[in-house]
Structure 1
Amino acid sequence: MSQCPYSSNPPPDGWHNAELNFSNSMSYGDYLDLERILNAQHPLSPDHNEMLFIIQHQTSELWMKLMLHELNAAREHVHQGQLQPAFKMLARVSRIFDQLVHAWAVLATMTPSEYKSIRPYLGHSSGFQSFQYREIEFILGNKSETLLRPHAHRPELLKELELAIATPSLYDEAIGLMAKAGLAIDPERLALNSKAPTQHDPSVEAAWREVYTDPSRYWDLYQLAEKFIDLEDSFRQWRFRHVTTVERIIGFQPGTGGTEGVGYLRKMLDTVLFPELWRVRSTL
């Protein structure tokens, strides 16, 4: 009699031909280095809820590592005028932000009294000090040399961020690409110091208006513009969910890193990464 396909009994040769002996080969845990990852959580308080707080932030940092991997590659592709690969990478970054938006719902299960039990153990540590998040902002054009200072005690990280702030942003590279395509960009904008934050430029807005007015002529730039909008849309949603979660847990208390907490985060909601792409929508 043939074995029922839904039987829970394994076939006599093992488990559905799955490899079961890893004494001389690489296993799943070996490949992912899970021993180190799963032993990287070191709660400082006796409170049960600190594990949630640690894992929430560690997983966010892992996603940010992937974002940096994609954004750096996308910037290089835009610089080379190879937009098709960049589209896929930018779409992936947008979906990572979506993932991080949903992750706030897990942290939101922490109540104010639960957070109060672990807060004294956090010292002045804060997500404000995330060097990966800062590098993401620099790549996207939101630059500030003042924000290098929290990393001065880590020379290797400071060096990485100094390079990031001095390198043209992803948006700078796109503007340069528009100029190469024959669109009229103010030479002063093209020569702008790479350490400067992105600011609205009338010539850039006019160039994007031309792209949106004639998509078939500038099809790749048109698609790039929409990838940028999609990315910033997802970034804004992540920031908003961050503010809401923090207010839900600590109200308007100051942050552990010294900022005014929710007040500071609300101000950050006003940051616009690609100003001309948003403003051009009002003039089409």
Structure 2
Amino acid sequence: MSNPHDHGAKLDFSASMSYSDYLQLDAILGAQKPLSPDHNEMLFIIQHQTSELWMKLMLHELRAAIEAVANDRLGSAFKMLARVSRIMEQLVHAWDVLATMTPPEYSAIRPYLASSSGFQSAQYRCIEFALGNKNPAMLKPHEHRPDLLAQVQAAFEAPSLHDEALRLLARRGLPVPPDCVERDWTQRRPESREVEQAWLVVYRDPETYWDLYQLAEELVDLEDAFRLWRFRHVTTVERIIGFKRGTGGTGGVPYLRQMLDVVLFPEIWRLRTDL
């Protein structure tokens, strides 16, 4: 963008597209509509709206990365997955801003939130499903919106990132079990010793399988960042509301702590012990 103080900069945009026009800033900056009289609700709204924007980009990259892996275009996939990990870092740091909200400040706006909750985020659910954490019960929060349900259902029924990675390993002749190549993608795949052995072949000879080795490390980077995001979520919620139940009816902190134990790519983590 040009410096507006540059004497050569164009200042009259009445006949052409402006910065605000291109970015649809009127719609974006007009989307913050606090329901309470409390000063701090603006922080709460913007924190969640910006997180949803980052998640939109994350899904854009994740879906393209999954397609790239499915079509043996690993160079493109690596670039996209690296970007997803950096987006996750942005989401991690967003909790630092929300953590400036104190318990009394949140208590002042909580009654105005009704049953709305981040638990109901369709984009977050699509991310979880794309990363392999499939749970049919998580479709239900979106039943009131057929358009959102269709998006979440599509993610639920599609192969996950790790599913496509395993299909790629099978195409390369590695010993991936047949039931990992074609199966019901709506089911969460159980941990498999055979899958670990297939990845071990890659890790024991990285020069031969360099691109597959790099793919596995991209998955580890992504899960590492995702774990940090989940941890900061738990600590921020505990800092602000303690152990109260969540507005969406979840158990709050205890529920979020359970989520910390979910491992997305278990065999790639476990093989490190066996190397």
Above 0.5 in TM-score?
yes
TM-score by length of 1: 0.94
Which secondary structure state, in structure 2, belongs to the residue aligned with residue 185 of structure 1? coil
Q: Equivalences for 1:18-57 in 2 at 5 Å?
A: 18-57=9-48
Aligned to 1:5: none
Which secondary structure state, in structure 1, belongs to the residue aligned with residue 256 of structure 2? helix
* 8 Å CA contact retained: 2:61, 2:84: yes
* Matched letter for residue 220 of structure 2: I
Q: CA deviation at 1:41?
A: 0.6
* 8 Å CA contact retained: 1:198, 1:274: no
Which secondary structure state, in structure 2, belongs to the residue aligned with residue 210 of structure 1? helix
* Matched letter for residue 178 of structure 1: L
Query: Which residue of the other structure, out of 135, 140, 165, is the alignment partner of 2:131?
Result: 140
Aligned to 1:253: 244
Q: CA deviation at 1:266?
A: 0.3
* Structure 1 range deviating more: 82-91 or 198-207: 198-207
Q: CA deviation at 1:111?
A: 0.3
Find the aligned partners of 1:35 and 1:181 in 2 and give their Cα distance: 50
Find the aligned partners of 1:281 and 1:178 in 2 and give their Cα distance: 18
> Structure 1 residue 17 and structure 2 residue 3: aligned?
no
Which secondary structure state, in structure 2, belongs to the residue aligned with residue 260 of structure 1? coil
Find the aligned partners of 2:256 and 2:246 in 1 and give their Cα distance: 10
Moved over 4 A (4+): none
Q: CA deviation at 1:185?
A: 1.1
Find the aligned partners of 1:31 and 1:185 in 2 and give their Cα distance: 47
Which secondary structure state, in structure 2, belongs to the residue aligned with residue 177 of structure 1? helix
* Matched letter for residue 218 of structure 1: Y
Q: CA deviation at 1:199?
A: 2.2
> Structure 1 residue 280 and structure 2 residue 271: aligned?
yes
Query: Which residue of the other structure, out of 96, 119, 131, is the alignment partner of 2:87?
Result: 96
Larger radius of gyration: 1
Aligned to 1:228: 219
Give the gaps of 5 or more residues in structure 2.
Answer: none
Q: Equivalences for 1:123-162 in 2 at 5 Å?
A: 123-162=114-153
Q: CA deviation at 1:201?
A: 1.2
Find the aligned partners of 1:150 and 1:99 in 2 and give their Cα distance: 26
Superposed CA deviations along residues 200-225 of structure 1, whole A, max 9, x for unmatched, are 11111001001000001111000000
Query: Which residue of the other structure, out of 149, 152, 174, is the alignment partner of 1:183?
Result: 174
> Structure 1 residue 199 and structure 2 residue 190: aligned?
yes
Q: State the number of aligned residues.
A: 272
Find the aligned partners of 1:242 and 1:101 in 2 and give their Cα distance: 8
* 8 Å CA contact retained: 1:199, 1:275: no
> Root-mean-square deviation (CA), in Å?
1.0
Q: CA deviation at 1:130?
A: 0.2
